[in-house]
Amino acid sequence: MSMPTPPSLNKPKHVSYWLRCLKTCLPTDYTSTDLNRLTLGFFTIAALDLLGALSNSTSLEERAGWIDWIYHNQLPSGGFRGSPATFLYGAAPHWDPPNLPASYFALVTLISLGDDLGRVEKKGLLALLPKMQRSDGSFGEWLGPDDEVVGSSDMRFIYCACAIRWVLRGRNGDGIIEGVKDIDVDRCVSYIASAETYDHGISEKPFGEAHAGHTYCAISALALLNRLQPTDTGISSSDNIVRWLVSRQIPFEARDGYDEEEIEELITEGTEETRLQATHVEVDADNHPLWAGFNGRCGKRGDTCYSFWVGGSLDVLKKLHLIDVKANRRFLLEKTQHFIGGFAKLPGPGVPPDIMHSFLGLAALALVREEGLNRLDAMLCISMQAKERLMEMDWWKNAPVS
Amino acid sequence: MSLYSRDPEWEDVVPLPQDDGVHPLAQIAYTEEYAEAMAYLRAVMAKDEVSERVLKVTEDVIEMNPAHYTVWLYRAKTLFALGGDLRKEQIFLNEMALKHQKNYQIWHHRQLIMEKIGDVTGEAEFTASMFEKDSKNYHVWSYRQWLVRRFDLWESPSEIEYIDILLKKDIKNNSAWNHRFFVVFGRDKDVPKEIVDREISICEDAIFIAPQNPSPWNYLRGALKKANLPLSTIEKTCLHYAPLDNPDKIKSSHALDILADIYMEKAEKEQAVMALDLLAKKYDPIRANYWNYRAGLIRGV
């Protein structure tokens, strides 16, 4: 009798997947992410950093070149554009605006590449943050003509603003940058609290549906602001949120001979009995499912990225040990890890890997200390080494920023 | 195929190519059409041009990349400056939204347009056609909430009726449950007792159909809290689906979970621990670590 192969991370395949993303053109399908090139760049660099492959698979010259490219996307008055696509050779600067997520991703990619942020327009970028904050405490995505705050109000931009503030102002946020107006922290915290839902996840805004991506951004933003402890004006209590988070873990359901469409129909229109007949969950001797990933909202399917959004939230709350680590790990390694490297969004044949899910799959595994991966700081979403490098930089520790 | 460089309407425009720098990250294999349209878009944006052809090139770029962020605002500003046909814009947005289900910008732009039009006619029908494709589309639900707030549709009977239709189709549609909570409890005023009772009984009906569906259980917790009622209000319902004295008949882990909280409310620790143990061992073992952690907190108290 042959023993089943234990699940493992196919590290060489992941490294080659990411080196391909790094050194050759991404397929045309990525056109819809063209305005988020700095985000894609972050995923690529941070993935190789987690795999420990940055310094041995790329040269110092290459890394210096990528660092220059990121600075090439810095705006003269501070902040970064989302992509070279908006660069207008200096004309109509209001149509080549700073973008909040891009500014966050630029900083963390630079740190991951070993840069000291010496060329970052720190004052300019920090001064942008209060300009991009709305009166309800939320932040916009970018600053439009006449300083109009543009973009939806949701947790993603709050997170980016808080992370930029933490990186540039230091962990207490107090004062190493003199004369630069700070964001309104209280309003930001109360916006987050107002988006806590009746089932105690966090939504994009008051009365929206709880969503694990927004929850991660909200929890991490509070941690970056040192405001994770419940207060009268803050989120209710971490117990409530932990319950919502752990409830996101769901067993992988094998589909007994039905195709995807038939299953969807059975799930939405069938009774519990017909559904149970069509699918089954494999369990071990203790009745624990063998494979169990996470969904991002109540009643949705398991998806690679939510292993990170939920796992990261729980890690920030110091409660990651409450999930079924083993079943989550097996879900990622045996159900969504792709044979060419990277991770697919969903299990099943014919789902190709993509950059976002490939990074978040690795990040989720790094949280639970997968062998062969560097450890991840859940709050900043970069490797522990990268974060420590930042914290050791003289200007971060004590020097006033010029 | 070149659309712009041979078009006489564009012959006065010098396209601005993309400056990608020397060592770019995340380069994308653009199609020729996309690269060209983007170069002409940059050229008109650089001059802040306001013209009919701006509407054309922005439409072209949006078709190929609806997640381009500055192009939408540029288009809106141009459209408003030219006094363009907003109903026509709405039809364009319908097509784009149906084609690109997971896009944020389309909905933001739609809000700008609808704000100007100021008339909500047709929006319920259009969002319903989006829900036909995906009844849990986050952007569309978010937009539907905006419509309710902006056009004061709180009392509109069609809003609750529509939720009933969606829940009848899929009782597990948590997005529809959430929208219900928003419509019923989303205003800064007290909800009358008869409405709270109605909501509790709707949840109980839904639980009867599918006791393991978490949505109505969560809704119950939320409704009770809004009405300042203790969880023990639904103790009987919970015991019906999770008779602690007859564990083999337990049909819902969610009922057990709420029972544990009810017994904590009543300071009956042993009963609470019993419910949590049943969850860990038999009825929700995937979360065994969590249930054991909660039982541990009680034992340690």
Reported as a single tens digit per residue, the pLDDT across B2-11 is 689 999 999 9
Res. A244: pLDDT tops 80: yes
A272 closest CA partner among B140, B135, B214: B214
Percent of chain A with pLDDT over 70: 91
3-state secondary structure string across B169-199? HCCCCHHHHHHHHHHHHCCCCCCCHHHHHHH
Residues of chain A with Cβ-Cβ distance to B69 below 8 Å are 35, 82, 99, 141-142, 150-151
**Considering CB atoms only, which of A69, A204, A327 is closest to B25?**
A69
Which of A38, A138, A209 to probe the B interface (max B CBs under 10 A)?
A209
The residue of chain A with its CA nearest to that of B171 is A268
User: What is the average per-residue pLDDT within B186-209?
Assistant: 95
The residue of chain B with its CA nearest to that of A293 is B286
Q: Work out whether the CA dihedral A88, A94, A100, A106 comes out positive or negative.
A: positive
- What's the gap in Å between the CA of B261 and the closest CA on chain A? 11
Q: What is the pLDDT at residue A394? A: 86
Beta strands A382-383 and A376-377 are antiparallel
Dihedral-angle region of residue A114 (phi above 0 means left; psi in -120 to 50 means alpha; beta otherwise):
left
Asked if B170's CB is within 8 angstroms of A32's CB, the reply is no
The residue of chain B with its CA nearest to that of A30 is B28
Q: Residue A4 domain-assigned? A: no
Provide the residue type at A246 as one letter.
V
User: Can you spell out the DSSP letters for A228-245?
Assistant: -S--SSS-S-HHHHHHHH
Beta strands A149-150 and A249-251 are unpaired
Res. A400: pLDDT tops 60: no
Q: Residue A11 domain-assigned? A: no
Residues of chain B with Cβ-Cβ distance to A207 below 8 Å are 145, 178, 181-182, 186
Asked if A91's CB is within 8 angstroms of B25's CB, the reply is no
Q: Report yes or no: B268 and B244 within 8 Å, Cβ to Cβ.
A: no
**Considering CB atoms only, which of B77, B104, B145 is closest to A207?**
B145
Asked if B285's CB is within 8 angstroms of A288's CB, the reply is yes
Res. A176: pLDDT tops 80: no
Higher pLDDT, A261 or B278: B278
Q: Report yes or no: A200 and A193 within 8 Å, Cβ to Cβ.
A: no
Dihedral-angle region of residue A124 (phi above 0 means left; psi in -120 to 50 means alpha; beta otherwise):
alpha
Q: Which residues contact A188 (CB under 8 A, 6 or more apart)?
A: A133, A137, A138, A139, A158, A161, A162, A221, A225
| A331 DSSP assignment | I
Taking only the tens place, the pLDDT of each residue in A111-156 is: 999 999 999 999 999 999 999 999 999 999 999 999 999 999 999 9
First to last CA, chain A: 68
Q: What is the pLDDT at residue B56? A: 97
Report how far residue B175's alpha carbon sits from residue B180's, in angstroms, rounded to the nearest whole number: 9
Taking only the tens place, the pLDDT of each residue in A310-348 is: 999 999 999 999 999 999 999 999 999 999 999 999 998
User: What is the average per-residue pLDDT within B54-67?
Assistant: 97
User: Can you spell out the DSSP letters for A96-162?
Assistant: S--BHHHHHHHHHHHHHTT---TTS-HHHHHHHHHHTB-TTS-B-SEE-GGG-EES--SHHHHHHHH
Q: Mean pLDDT over all residues of chain B?
A: 96
- What's the gap in Å between the CA of B288 and the closest CA on chain A? 8
Q: Report yes or no: A84 and A362 within 8 Å, Cβ to Cβ.
A: no
Report how far residue B120's alpha carbon sits from residue B130's, in angstroms, rounded to the nearest whole number: 16
Res. B17: pLDDT tops 90: yes
Domain spans of chain B?
1-84, 232-301
Provide the residue type at A251 as one letter.
P
Name the token pair of B245. 């004295």
The residue of chain A with its CA nearest to that of B63 is A32
Asked if A288's CB is within 8 angstroms of B288's CB, the reply is yes
CATH assignment of the domain containing A120: 1.50.10.20
**Considering CB atoms only, which of B19, B64, B293 is closest to A31?**
B64
The residue of chain A with its CA nearest to that of B170 is A268
Asked if A22's CB is within 8 angstroms of B25's CB, the reply is yes
Res. A402: pLDDT tops 80: no
Asked if B68's CB is within 8 angstroms of A152's CB, the reply is no
- What's the gap in Å between the CA of A286 and the closest CA on chain B? 8
Residue B31 φ/ψ, nearest 5 degrees:
-75, 160
User: What is the average per-residue pLDDT within B248-256?
Assistant: 97
**Considering CB atoms only, which of A44, A199, A269 is closest to B222?**
A199
Return the active site residues of B.
102
Residues of chain B with Cβ-Cβ distance to A275 below 8 Å are none
Q: What is the pLDDT at residue A350? A: 84
Residue A351 φ/ψ, nearest 5 degrees:
-95, 115
Asked if A31's CB is within 8 angstroms of B34's CB, the reply is yes
**Considering CB atoms only, which of A87, A209, A272 is closest to B178?**
A209
- What's the gap in Å between the CA of B205 and the closest CA on chain A? 15
3-state secondary structure string across B227-293? CCCCHHHHHHHHHHHCCCCCHHHCCCHHHHHHHHHHHHHCCCHHHHHHHHHHHHHHHCHHHHHHHHH
Q: What is the pLDDT at residue A41? A: 98
Taking only the tens place, the pLDDT of each residue in A74-111 is: 999 999 999 999 999 999 999 999 999 999 999 999 99
Residues of chain B with Cβ-Cβ distance to A97 below 8 Å are 70
Report how far residue B46's alpha carbon sits from residue B68's, in angstroms, rounded to the nearest whole number: 16
Q: What is the pLDDT at residue A2? A: 56
Name the token pair of A135. 């009166």
The residue of chain B with its CA nearest to that of A65 is B23
Tally of CA atoms within 13 A in the half-sphere of A326 that contains its CB: 12
Asked if B23's CB is within 8 angstroms of A65's CB, the reply is yes
**Considering CB atoms only, which of A26, A198, A321 is closest to B28?**
A26
Residue A383 φ/ψ, nearest 5 degrees:
-65, 155
User: What is the average per-residue pLDDT within A255-284?
Assistant: 70
Report how far residue A107's alpha carbon sits from residue A117's, in angstroms, rounded to the nearest whole number: 7
Residues of chain B with Cβ-Cβ distance to A296 below 8 Å are none
User: What is the average per-residue pLDDT within B71-96?
Assistant: 97
Torsion of CA B67, B73, B76, B80, to 10 degrees: 180
Residues of chain A with Cβ-Cβ distance to B225 below 8 Å are 198
Higher pLDDT, A275 or B28: B28
**Considering CB atoms only, which of B26, B210, B286 is closest to A41?**
B26
Domain count across chain A: 1
Q: Mean pLDDT over all residues of chain A?
A: 92
Determine which helix (DSSP H) or strand (DSSP E) holds A251, and give its type and residue range: strand A249-251
Q: Which domain holds residue A321?
A: 37-252+289-397
Which of A66, A198, A283 to probe the B interface (max B CBs under 10 A)?
A198
